Structure 1
Amino acid sequence: MKLFFTLFSLAGVFLTAYAEEQFRIAIDMNQPGWRALTEEDFTGVNSAEDTWVWRNGVLSCTGQPVSVLRTVKTYKNFEMVLEWRHNKPAGNSGMFVWATPESIAKLTESGKPGLPKGIEVQVLDNAFRHKMEKAGRNTEWFTTHGDVFPVGVRMTPIGKTSPNGSRSFPREDRSKDHGNWNHYYIRAVNGEVRLWVNGREVSGGTDCDPATGYLCLESEGSPIDFRNLHIRELP
């Protein structure tokens, strides 16, 4: 029996190491096709002139007004890595995958604060939950560790979901508190979006429609920094 448990434990260690190795290989930046996303790859939508500023490889966002920075071109199948850091407790932000050109056009024409339609990959500081609890608000409908959900489009959540079934909830808590850098790896292929947070796959969705569009970073009320944005387009 002791031998059985020893072998079982060793198997667990091996599988964990294998999973970590698979993740490392999945985002091997030496593979052909990876390139950095720079200031030339983005343009502001309904933002102020000082909402987004690039300094020494870091993209800083004031959080005001509520708006997005979108890619110049649209994307279909791709994988992407980025790092983000909230600069104040309870910060709110996110990234839109496959934001629809129609919703972007409406925001551009209106010039008013707002966000587009698409698949949102949530970027919330852990203190956001404490803020909501202190205010007596319901906190069961979201997490701060990488929710993935549709905004005005269609998606079937993978795995654990929010109470109403609209959001894919992360399998485990992975996000670091404000002031610390977090690493996201996003893979979006043929209508399926999957998210890895700080080295582990946590959430995602399938049957996304539409499954092509802009990529957007959110300005949503709180200062946040982004860095090391890279993308690789896939067949």
Structure 2
Amino acid sequence: MNNPLKKGLMFLSVLLIGSQISYSQETLFEFGTSTSMDAVLSKSKAKEDKLKWINVNTTKETWKVMKDGTLSNTGLPIGVIRSEKQYENFILHVEWKHMEAGGNSGVFAWSGARPVGTNPLPDGVEIQMLDLEWVDLNIRNGVKPPIAYVHGELFGVQGVKTVADNPRGDRSKSIENRVKGKGEWNTYDVVCVDGVIKLSVNGKFVNGISKSTQKKGYLCLESEGAQIFYRNLKVIELAPGVTSAEQTAALLP
């Protein structure tokens, strides 16, 4: 499907589904686990809790936990689900793969987990998950976007400010291109501590940001127009830091 037609259908789907989207903060499913660093380091077997995911502005049909534990996301409507609780300092492990050329998605850290204005996506720090062909499908006036787009960019969104380790405008780009193409699993290990994020892509740390103006909030999984799969999502909570109310997202019911 050509890109303008696909975008038109995506926009139409948002209009048609919008009136049916629940803003009731309904728990949709359990996926992934969380534990503490103390539990990991203790001699006893680490206790793991199942992560509950709450709808923000997608639908029940957007998400499906498969029999093998993999999570499927259709990509429509555009929006997010959020974690049940907020996280401050933590390590996130997640594996993901796109199934469509140019697929777009991501994870939001330290998010308020609510749409901002007319934008269906929330604030926070976005950890980008793009298929490699995105740059080929988004040529503007004969100019192809930088390849950095598709290799794990990090950036603050919707008012959250960050300082890029490897600047590309306001974004931070990876210093090495390591993302695999559609149909292949990618592994992100994300260390989030005191307003600093370091991202490992497929086994090597290649990107980071610092001085995030918001450094405690919800984790959000993004639905942004294309099917994506996730598996083996794990959160390891670390000790808290000194974080003010102004640096913390508002609590949701």
Give TM class, smaller chain: 0.7 to 0.9
Deviation (angstroms), 1:210? 1.0
Question: Which of residues 218, 222, 238 is equivalent to 1:218?
Answer: 222
In 1, the alpha carbon distance for the partners of 2:111 and 2:46 equals 22
- What do the CA deviations read for 1:166-224 (whole angstroms, capped 9, x no partner)? 01110100000000000000000011011000001111110011100000111000000
Question: Which of residues 206, 211, 215 is equivalent to 1:207?
Answer: 211
Superposed CA RMSD: 2.5
Higher RCO (Cα < 8 Å, 6 or more apart): 1
Going from structure 1 to structure 2, the CA distance change for 1:136 and 1:44 (only over 3 Å counts) comes to: farther
Going from structure 1 to structure 2, the CA distance change for 1:85 and 1:185 (only over 3 Å counts) comes to: same
User: 2:63 matched to which residue of 1?
Assistant: 52
Q: Do residues 87 (structure 1) and 94 (structure 2) align? A: no
Q: Do residues 148 (structure 1) and 154 (structure 2) align? A: yes
Contact kept in structure 1, 2:56 and 2:81, CA below 8 Å: yes
Higher helix content, 1 or 2: 1
SS at match of 1:50: helix
Contact kept in structure 2, 1:174 and 1:198, CA below 8 Å: yes
User: 2:129 matched to which residue of 1?
Assistant: 123
SS at match of 1:46: coil
> TM-score, normalised to structure 2's length?
0.72
Amino acid at match of 2:177: D
| % identity of equivalent residues | 35
Q: Do residues 177 (structure 1) and 168 (structure 2) align? A: no
SS at match of 1:143: helix
> TM-score, normalised to structure 1's length?
0.77
Contact kept in structure 2, 1:100 and 1:210, CA below 8 Å: no
Q: Which consecutive unaligned segments of at least 5 residues does structure 2 have?
A: 1-36, 240-253
Aligned residues: 198
In 1, the alpha carbon distance for the partners of 2:48 and 2:106 equals 19
In 2, the alpha carbon distance for the partners of 1:190 and 1:124 equals 26
SS at match of 1:41: strand
Q: Which consecutive unaligned segments of at least 5 residues does structure 1 have?
A: 1-26
Deviation (angstroms), 1:62? 0.3
User: 1:73 matched to which residue of 2?
Assistant: 85
